[in-house]
Amino acid sequence: MTNSPRPLPHPSHWSAGYWQAAAERRFVVQECGDCDRPIMYPKRVCPYCLGERLNWRASAGKGEIYAVTTQLAGPPTGFADRLPYVLAVIRLDEGVQLMSNIVGDSALEARIGDRVSVDFEPAGDMVLPVFRLEKTGVSQ
């Protein structure tokens, strides 16, 4: 973990619940009270039915890597001290997707289809959801 001067998210009124849960090391997804569909990223209205009755649903924070890339050199400003780092699109078991970092000792081995679980990383005054590769059930 580093004290990188990397850019951090700016929570909005409608994403505040997501960031508050992350600060408490809980992972949530937004859901529509009208059509019961999960939503990611947090929005002001449901993108499916335009409903405004949005709330938060606890999530196990498990899913699989849908797309992945490793930044080895030439990072954007604020990320140089994090090289190499792994960025992935995660498809959660709820069916929604989000972009996050893959962290941990095996992060550089991340591949499409690998199972991941949420973890939390302090960053300045925030806590960011990040993901770790799940261990396979094969013992050696």
What contacts 137, CB < 8 A, 6 or more positions away? none
3-state secondary structure the chain: CCCCCCCCCCCCCCCHHHHHHHHCCCCEEEEECCCCCEECCCCCCCCCCCCCCEEEEECCCEEEEEEEEEECCCCCCCCHHHCCEEEEEEEECCCCEEEEEEECCCHHHCCCCCEEEEEEEEECCEEEEEEEECCCCCCC
pLDDT at 137: 52
Of 89, 25, 14, nearest to 56 by C-alpha is: 14
Q: Are 122 and 1 in contact (CB under 8 A)?
A: yes
Question: Does the predicted TM-score (pTM) go above 0.85?
Answer: yes
Report domain 61-134's class.
mainly beta
Please give the chain's pLDDT, 140 residues, in tens. Answer: 444 477 888 999 989 999 999 999 999 999 999 999 999 989 999 999 999 999 999 999 999 999 999 999 887 777 888 889 999 999 999 999 999 999 999 999 999 999 999 999 999 899 999 999 998 754 43
Per domain, the residue ranges of the chain are: 12-59, 61-134
pLDDT at 77: 77
pLDDT at 82: 84
pLDDT at 118: 98
